[in-house]
Amino acid sequence: MFRKSSHAVMHSGGLFRTPRPLCRALQEALMKAQSVWNLDFGGTPTVDELTFHQRKYPSTPMFHVLDLDGRVVNPKQEPEVPKETLIKMMEAMLRQQSIDLILMEAQRQGRISFYMTSMGEEASAVGTAAALDMRDELFLQYREAAALTYRGYTVKDMVAQCMGTIENELKGRQMPIHYGSRALNVHMISSPVATQIPHAAGAGYVCRLENERETDPNKKRICAAFVGEGSASQGDFHAGVNMAATMKSNTLFLIRNNGYAISTPSSSQYAGDGVFARGIGYGIPCARVDGNDILAVFQTVRKARELIRTTNQPVLVEALLYRSSHHSSSDDSTWYRSRDEVEVFSNLFLPVARFEKYLERKLLWTPEQSRSLSQKVRQETLAELHRQEKLPKWPVSSMHDDVYKEMTPEMHQAQKELEEHYERNKKEYNM
Amino acid sequence: MLRRIGTTHVVSPLSSFFSSVASARRLQMTAVSASQAREHADAPEAVEMNFLQAINSALDLALSRDEKTVVFGEDVAFGGVFRCTLNLSKKYGSQRVFDSPLSEQGLVGFAIGMASAGWKPIAEVQFADYIFPAFDQIVNEAAKMRFRSGGHFHCGGLVIRSPSSAVGHGGLYHSQSVEGFFNHCAGIKIVMPSTPSDAKGLLLQCVEEEDPCIFFEPKRLYRSMVEPVDPGYYTIPLGKGKILCEGRDVTIVTYGAQVGVAMKAAERAAQEGISVELIDLRSLKPWDREMVTQSVRKTGRVIVTHEAPKTSGIGSEIVSCITQDCFLSLEAPPMRVCCLDTPHPLNERLYLPNELKVCEAIKYITGY
């Protein structure tokens, strides 16, 4: 979205004049008392001229490594990434892109009920996943499937979840794209937005306590919560980040600011300096990064992880990017934004193409590899769709499982009654 | 807006009344076998404890047994506004007994996260009236986490404990009984004890459960209810009610602080020749449907009484099940004696389902 920027200059001259001698006794008394507010005034607790403080424009610049042609702008900031990791990052983005194309089309054909793509946002998810350790716990929102793909979630896993087949170990209970994997340390996605933020704060507190007891540095881990900028308006965002700060949780908050919450532009979502500035209000380290630059995301998250581990503070990273696709298969974004706007982002800031050029320059990748991998994954996804369409769903008896760890007597009774009902009416259910 | 009342426990004229309820309970217990009525209260080294001390003892034992158990909430570190967490922070350290920022959705969400990482958080919501900011976290997250993941993720270690119910002068926001809101939510368990012994055993069971549990503590019993309590570790299984006195003519089903009221009413009824069987459910979800069914089949009449408002209270579910299970045995329509369908007023004498109201119900149903 192209918002007209009115550049307001803050008049804060009072802060720069030599202050008149302040009341010494008052200063000393307040320096003694300041800890009651958990503040440290650095020697100057009061001013004698009233000033209202505002922090809005100019907005905080975002960190980037690559230019639009995939060239490194500042060699000192180019992260050292193993070749295998760079290739894995590229492959994960391409795989997710290909999977998205096929599954979105499958939804249009009525083969699955719902879908959300990650178009244009692959770099933020993959860059983050690559910079984290496999044991770090991920708490996703819903547009971070590429992070799962990077960790090894397969086409088969995704199709099984989207179709709710017997092969979906999650038993087909949630809408499509609500993935999760205990083996990959990725917590189950749920639809209510922002609820995962205080979860990541609590689990991050567990990480801190366990890290303090753990002697092997390689076994120390953190939690990472992925949050859209719209979700950051929820009360749970305030609760989770604030509590992570006071409890010193080992948690990363990764904000995907893609400019829209369905149809709501960021001008209706907030008035401050993005979500970034709020983290500063909670007293934690914050960074803003070009979300279309996977190396910038990688470098930022890797440094954030080090900071979290060494200072026992949560860190907030805001990645600025653009939602190229509709919000979901239930949305037509042309109702609220122009095609021109979408095309500018789709053609200009391409996260995947940008990284591809970088890898080509390093002789690690070729366009042919992109075409080949994309085609292979599209075929793999199509084949998996065909195969799983023939699979049964989970049995009727499973409908009462997992409400509690053990079944209560009434649950047993209800389960039995439902199975008997189903047997009596099987033909009409046509399942 | 005054949100939190002072930390000093106000001595209410009601406390002497409920102290007499406690002593009356001990007398009435002779009606049933001692071992049944006084589970764990006849241990060799039983110690006189009030309700809050029994809670404190349970938390102390839970913390001592498992390093991954923590206790936290608003004002918990110094001992809590009802002193339930007294001395625990000193004993176990500030990493395991700590204050949270003032945010119920935050502290419950935080606890869910800890539980999902394999720990056992015992989160305190300072008054049940303020659990609603966490309703989304409890209903949409905690209760559904195991189910939505096909059993792969859960927050079974979660326990939420909260002071509940009337205290004489709590008005709208320090008196609520909110268990009915959660009763309609598959995936959580709900407990509300009526005695120190039960409170301790049931709370320790909640900590051992591998499903999220909400533990409501009737706060007017914190200091007024005293009895011998086993100082050692013990649990009482969820889903099991307790017959406090056996009777032939009418069954009364209740729980929480209302048990004391029903006990008083049963005594008055006995003086008029009516024999009351009194059941304390203790565990509300799951509840002891079998015990209630057997009792009502014997007596043929039932009164369900609770402090929460009548419409859609837990009593509705119980009465519906009784009608289905005991239809051929019922000699009178099941009755409910509950709080009025209004918000909880400051002056609550006519609002609460008091002894007089329960007595009238007993007369009505036995004379039907």
pLDDT class for B41, splitting at 50, 70, 90?
low
pLDDT class for B240, splitting at 50, 70, 90?
confident
CA A79 vs CA A63, A66, A123, A254: distances in Å? 13, 11, 15, 19
Give, in words, the CATH class of B240-365: alpha beta
Write out pLDDT tens, residues A292-335.
999 999 999 989 998 997 999 999 999 999 998 899 999 999 98
**Residues in B 161-180 with any Cβ partner in A closer than 8 A:** none
pLDDT class for A21, splitting at 50, 70, 90?
low
Encoded tokens for A431: 């399942």
The answer to whether the peptide bond before residue B286 is cis (omega within 30 degrees of 0) is yes
Phi–psi pair at A10, nearest 5 degrees: -80, 130
Considering chain B, what percentage of its residues have pLDDT values greater than 90?
81
Write out pLDDT tens, residues B78-95.
999 998 999 999 899 999
Segment B123-127 mean pLDDT: 97
Q: Is the pLDDT of residue B292 over 50?
A: yes
Indicate if B240-365 has the same CATH topology as B45-227.
Answer: yes
Phi–psi pair at B121, nearest 5 degrees: -85, 130
Q: Is the pLDDT of residue B248 over 90?
A: no
Of A180, A238, A242, Cβ closest to residue B152: A180
CA dihedral A358, A359, A360, A361 (to 10 degrees): 60
- The answer to whether the Cβ–Cβ distance between B146 and A404 falls below 8 Å is yes
Phi–psi pair at A188, nearest 5 degrees: -60, 125
Write out pLDDT tens, residues B197-230.
999 999 999 999 999 999 999 998 998 999 999 9
Q: Is the pLDDT of residue A266 over 70?
A: yes
Q: Is the pLDDT of residue B363 over 60?
A: yes
Write out pLDDT tens, residues B127-154.
999 999 999 999 999 999 999 999 999 9
* Chain A partners within 8 Å of B116 (Cβ): 187, 199, 202-203
- Among A215-219, B122-126, B201-205, which is the least confidently predicted range? A215-219
Q: In what order do the strands lie in the sheet with B302-309?
A: B242-245, B276-280, B250-254, B302-309, B335-339
Q: Which long-range contacts (CB under 8 A, 24 or more apart) does A362-366 make?
A: A362/A86, A364/A83, A364/A86, A364/A87, A365/A87, A365/A90
Alpha carbon of residue A311 to chain centroid: 23
DSSP A202-214: HHHHHHHHHHHH-
- The answer to whether the Cβ–Cβ distance between B109 and A199 falls below 8 Å is yes
Q: What is the pLDDT of residue A386?
A: 85
Per-domain boundaries in chain B: 45-227, 240-365
Segment B22-30 mean pLDDT: 35
* Closest alpha carbon to B28 in B18, B19, B41, B37: B37
Calpha distance A275→A3 (Å, rounded): 17
Q: Please, are residues A180 and B153 in contact by the beta-carbon 8 Å criterion?
A: yes
Q: What is the DSSP-derived secondary structure letter of residue A393?
A: B
Q: Please, are residues A15 and A51 in contact by the beta-carbon 8 Å criterion?
A: yes
Q: What is the pLDDT of residue B43?
A: 67
- The answer to whether the Cβ–Cβ distance between A404 and B109 falls below 8 Å is no
* Chain B partners within 8 Å of A247 (Cβ): 98, 100, 110
Calpha distance B242→B282 (Å, rounded): 7
Greater pLDDT, A348 or B171: B171
Calpha distance A237→B74 (Å, rounded): 19
Calpha distance A108→B365 (Å, rounded): 62
Q: What is the pLDDT of residue B8?
A: 37
- Look up A191 and say whether it is catalytic: yes
Query: Where is mean pLDDT largest: A4-13, A43-52, B12-21, B322-331?
Result: B322-331
What is the rounded average pLDDT for all residues in chain B? 89
- The answer to whether the Cβ–Cβ distance between B106 and A199 falls below 8 Å is no
Q: What is the pLDDT of residue A4?
A: 36
Q: Please pick, among A118, A231, A249, A328, the residue that the annotation labels catalytic.
A: A328
Q: Please, are residues B208 and B156 in contact by the beta-carbon 8 Å criterion?
A: no
Greater pLDDT, A375 or B128: B128
Encoded tokens for A246: 């006071």
Phi–psi pair at A243, nearest 5 degrees: -70, -35
Q: Is the pLDDT of residue B291 over 60?
A: yes
Write out pLDDT tens, residues B252-262.
999 999 999 99
**E strands of A196-250, at which residues?**
223-228
Alpha carbon of residue A173 to chain centroid: 23
Q: Please, are residues B207 and B158 in contact by the beta-carbon 8 Å criterion?
A: no
B133 touches chain A (CB under 8 A): yes
A201 touches chain B (CB under 8 A): yes
Encoded tokens for A422: 């189903």
The number of residues in chain A equals 431
Q: Please pick, among B104, B209, B217, B307, the residue that the annotation labels catalytic.
A: B104
Segment B103-127 mean pLDDT: 97
Q: Compute the radius of gyration of chain A from its Cα atoms.
A: 25
Q: What is the pLDDT of residue B158?
A: 98
Q: Please, are residues B69 and B120 in contact by the beta-carbon 8 Å criterion?
A: yes
Considering chain B, what percentage of its residues have pLDDT values greater than 70?
88
* Chain A partners within 8 Å of B107 (Cβ): 239, 243
pLDDT class for A428, splitting at 50, 70, 90?
confident
A28 C-beta neighbours (distance < 10 Å), count: 11
Q: What is the pLDDT of residue A309?
A: 79
- Look up A328 and say whether it is catalytic: yes
Q: Is the pLDDT of residue A23 over 90?
A: no
A405 touches chain B (CB under 8 A): yes
Residue B220 makes CB contacts below 8 A (sequence gap 6+) with: B12, B14, B15, B18, B165, B166, B167, B168, B257
Residue B254's Cβ-count burial label (10 Å; 0-12, 13-18, 19+) is buried
pLDDT class for B22, splitting at 50, 70, 90?
very low
Beta bridge partners of A257: A320
Q: Please, are residues A254 and A200 in contact by the beta-carbon 8 Å criterion?
A: no
Please, what is the end-to-end C-alpha distance for chain A in angstroms? 46
Place of tokens 């189910």: B147
At A354 the three-state DSSP class reads helix
A361 C-beta neighbours (distance < 10 Å), count: 13
- The answer to whether the Cβ–Cβ distance between A405 and B152 falls below 8 Å is no
Phi–psi pair at B97, nearest 5 degrees: -135, 105
A294-311 helix and A83-108 helix, angle to the nearest 10 degrees: 110
Domains contained in chain A, CATH given: 73-387 (3.40.50.970), 394-423 (no CATH)
Segment A114-142 mean pLDDT: 95
Residue A206's Cβ-count burial label (10 Å; 0-12, 13-18, 19+) is buried
CA distance A65 to chain B (A): 34
Q: Is the pLDDT of residue A225 over 50?
A: yes
* Chain B partners within 8 Å of A169 (Cβ): 150, 152
* Chain A partners within 8 Å of B211 (Cβ): 404-405
Q: What is the DSSP-derived secondary structure letter of residue A47?
A: -
Q: Is the pLDDT of residue A402 over 80?
A: yes
Q: What number of C-beta contacts closer than 8 Å exist between A and B?
A: 152
Segment A57-78 mean pLDDT: 94
Segment A5-20 mean pLDDT: 44
Considering chain A, what percentage of its residues have pLDDT values greater than 70?
95
Burial B215-244 (b: 16+ CB within 10 A, else e): bbbbbbbbbbbbbbbbbeebbbebbbbbbb
Greater pLDDT, B120 or B299: B299
Q: What is the pLDDT of residue B6?
A: 42
**Residues in A 67-106 with any Cβ partner in B closer than 8 A:** none
B324 touches chain A (CB under 8 A): no
* Closest alpha carbon to A249 in B64, B210, B146, B101: B101
Of B108, B148, B186, Cβ closest to residue A174: B148
Q: Please pick, among B40, B154, B174, B306, the residue that the annotation labels catalytic.
A: B174
B185 touches chain A (CB under 8 A): no
What is the ipTM for the molecules in this complex? 0.91
Choices 3.10.20.30, 3.40.50.970, 3.30.1370.10, 1.10.3210.10: CATH for B45-227 = 3.40.50.970
